A = this chain, B = another copy of it.
Amino acid sequence: MKKLILLLLLVIAQKAIAQKQDYPIQPVPFTSVKLTDKFWNSRIETNRTVTIPASFERCESTGRVKNFQMAAEHKGKFCTTYPFDDTDIYKTIEGASYSLALHPDEKLSKYVDSLITIVGRAQEPDGYLYTARTIDPLHVGSWLGTERWVKEQENSHELYNAGHLYEGAVAHYMATGKRNLLNIAIKNADLLVNTFGPNKRHVAPGHEVVEMGLVKLYRVTGKKEYLDLAKFFIDERGHKEYNKKSKNVYENGIYWQDNKPVVEQDEAEGHAVRAMYLYSGMADVAALTGDKQYLAAIDKIWNNMVGKKMYVQGSIGAVGDGERFGENYELPNATAYNETCAAIGNVYWNQRMFLLHGDSKYIDVLEKTLYNGLIAGIGLDGKSFFYTNAMQIHDSFNHPDIERGRSGWFVCSCCPTNLVRLIPSIPGYIYAQNGKDVFVNLFISGTGNLKVGSKAVQIIQQNNYPWDGGLTFTINPAASMDMNLKLRIPGWAQNVAMPSDLYAYQTPSGQKAEIKVNGKTVNYVMQNGYAVISRKWKKGDKVEMNLPMDIRRVVANDKLPENCDKVALQRGPLMYCAEWKDNNGKAANIIIPQNTTFTAAYKPGLLNGVTVLKANVKAVKVDAGGQNISTENTTLTAIPYYSWANRGAGEMTVWFPQQVKYVDLLTH
């Protein structure tokens, strides 16, 4: 009860700040939404029962917790690899906090508090918190530097650690109402405020995230210095001397988005995760300060990314060397890097872009990423992960960057702990509102409790999304009320494969989304990608929307020659792939002729229940001797991309040739 009051206070506090200047659209917090959704509840439950415990267990067994204990006693030797390993604890606490808010759990709550106590002890008297240095300031690694904050560009990640501390602390406070971690964060943030700024120290954070973290701290404390410092850090970028002529992204500053002042940046460049966190931070600061230059910059960058640098299943960061964006249209299949963290950052950024602009195209990108490139990063078991997300696995091609199988943990384990915190926060992405305008962005069964003006209204979603297109929304206002219900009609349901010309559907679908209110079909008005239904709503009003779930053939822009004459398969929000397991041990040998007809069938027993696509296609065979090659008719079984690599390692492909002009003969 105490918790709910605090949350209420918090929401009011946020509103109060929002009155001044904030996102014109406000998300309905995840704490106000209770899910009944089969697709997502199972994932959130797996996260709670498997991923979070496994993550904490790994933080202990790998020495991440021990680092904090040694820091508290200023003795021992930093016993993991990276100085930013601290963040895995902060991120897991963040995920555990969301989980606790959705599903109270005394044991977990106690464990988190005990960890927070250890974290607190590791904090230095002036608020500095960075175990790698505190354990033994004299014997820090070369990339930490012998002084605080002098090696941000050499990946000391001191400010990155701080940012994740703040995000974890705010989540923990919001979820539990406890200030124990929040106070640690505030003490650390105050140190930064006293250290950095005009006429103080200057630094461009090496790995962004502190900007988002400071904004979150500002939201819960109302302390403007935090917002100012976030803006200061952002504006620090692009003033360091780099070798601009160099093509080496480390030498020219592009790797850190530090080659130009942010307001001059117009392309998604450099390390993809850092980029997503920077653009998200810029969106936050733009919303809270009304900075038009930030807005102009991130709008340009978004158009560049979605128009030239995004994979068809919503992943970003094509290039392994530097975990970064490639050149425009540099989207190789065989060596796609696609860090899971970048997909998560892409969700953060696109949610913010939507809150700024109220356009559904941002949610189209968010949904594409969320249902495909992002959740592909975690195995169905909840404890095996991909750091990179391949577009194609070919038995004859190996590359050090390409993961063929999942791992339980990584030396640099940012992705698993990022998933830990993203999954339970999903309820927070479903609804948003701006006064009487209520946005329904994601189609996830459950109940959302909103207030329109001062009036409570409940929205109950019932569907079997993403498998079925039949969606039901029951509207229960406390008393009848005016409200503009804005139902997002996904781009894919409007023959828009991607809000850019990067990908398109080979043939438009004849069907369109149908909407009924209380059984009567309505001619809805479209506004920024939303069907707007404005009426006086009364308890029990029922809205039904039917999205066309036909199987779509996606084709790529000619500027992606690798995908020339190829198709990718989509049904609803899901992109599909062919995996070795369902296709006689191979996938790279499949040809899908233009005229192929597909059938979709839900398989409850397969991969925790998935709708598979089947079709009669051609496949190429090579005989044992390697002398005879032939094509034969075979049945293609395609599974949702997110579900690949849960049955062992083998070939997988997203893009299929429709016809073959040549073959390359491979000997290994």
Stretch in A46-54, A107-115, A588-596 touching the partner = A588-596
- Mark out the residues of chain A between 617 and 668 whose CB falls within 8 Å of any chain B CB in the assembled complex: 618, 620, 622, 625-631, 657-668
* Binary flags per residue of A213-247, CB closer than 8 Å to B gives 1, else 0: 00000000000000000000000000000010111
Q: How many residues of A contact B (CB 8 A)?
A: 39
Stretch in A32-40, A169-177, A433-441, A560-568 touching the partner = A560-568
A394 within 8 Å of B (CB atoms): yes
A523 within 8 Å of B (CB atoms): no
Structural contact, A630 and B627, CB atoms closer than 8 A: no
In the A-B complex, list the 4 residue pairs whose CB atoms are closest, starting with the nearest.
A626-B659, A565-B667, A664-B664, A396-B662
Structural contact, A659 and B625, CB atoms closer than 8 A: yes
Structural contact, A631 and B627, CB atoms closer than 8 A: yes
A57 within 8 Å of B (CB atoms): no
Pick the residue among B564, B593, B629, B666 that contacts A629 (CB under 8 A): B629
Q: Can you name 14 A-B pairs with beta carbons within 8 Å? A: A245-B251, A246-B246, A246-B248, A394-B664, A395-B661, A396-B661, A396-B664, A565-B667, A591-B626, A593-B627, A628-B631, A629-B631, A657-B667, A658-B667
Contact partners of A660 in chain B: CB under 8 A: 622, 626-627, 629, 665-667
Nearest to A667 among chain B residues (CB) is: B565
Bound complex: CA of A620 vs CA of B664, how far in Å? 10
Structural contact, A622 and B663, CB atoms closer than 8 A: yes
Nearest to A243 among chain B residues (CB) is: B243
* Binary flags per residue of A563-593, CB closer than 8 Å to B gives 1, else 0: 0111000000000000000000000110101
Nearest to A565 among chain B residues (CB) is: B667
Bound complex: CA of A463 vs CA of B394, how far in Å? 52
Nearest to A247 among chain B residues (CB) is: B248
Contact partners of A396 in chain B: CB under 8 A: 661-662, 664
Structural contact, A395 and B631, CB atoms closer than 8 A: no
Structural contact, B661 and A666, CB atoms closer than 8 A: yes
In the assembled complex, the CB of A407 is this many whole angstroms from the nearest CB of chain B, namely 25
In the assembled complex, the CB of A25 is this many whole angstroms from the nearest CB of chain B, namely 43
| Chain B CB within 10 Å, residue with most, of A245, A396, A629 | A629
In the assembled complex, the CB of A515 is this many whole angstroms from the nearest CB of chain B, namely 40
Pick the residue among B589, B630, B663 that contacts A666 (CB under 8 A): B663
Structural contact, B627 and A618, CB atoms closer than 8 A: yes
Nearest to A664 among chain B residues (CB) is: B664
Bound complex: CA of A591 vs CA of B666, how far in Å? 10
Structural contact, B667 and A564, CB atoms closer than 8 A: yes
- Mark out the residues of chain A between 130 and 179 whose CB falls within 8 Å of any chain B CB in the assembled complex: none
Contact partners of A588 in chain B: CB under 8 A: 662, 664-665
Bound complex: CA of A395 vs CA of B660, how far in Å? 13
Contact partners of A246 in chain B: CB under 8 A: 243, 246, 248, 251
Structural contact, A668 and B564, CB atoms closer than 8 A: yes
Bound complex: CA of A396 vs CA of B662, how far in Å? 7
Nearest to A668 among chain B residues (CB) is: B564
Pick the residue among B565, B593, B620, B627 that contacts A659 (CB under 8 A): B627
Structural contact, A629 and B248, CB atoms closer than 8 A: no
In the assembled complex, the CB of A113 is this many whole angstroms from the nearest CB of chain B, namely 47
Structural contact, B248 and A665, CB atoms closer than 8 A: no
Pick the residue among B564, B565, B618 that contacts A628 (CB under 8 A): B618
Nearest to A564 among chain B residues (CB) is: B668
| Chain B CB within 10 Å, residue with most, of A561, A622, A630, A664 | A664
Structural contact, B666 and A664, CB atoms closer than 8 A: yes
Contact partners of A565 in chain B: CB under 8 A: 667-668
In the assembled complex, the CB of A301 is this many whole angstroms from the nearest CB of chain B, namely 26
Bound complex: CA of A630 vs CA of B661, how far in Å? 13
Pick the residue among B561, B630, B662 that contacts A631 (CB under 8 A): B630
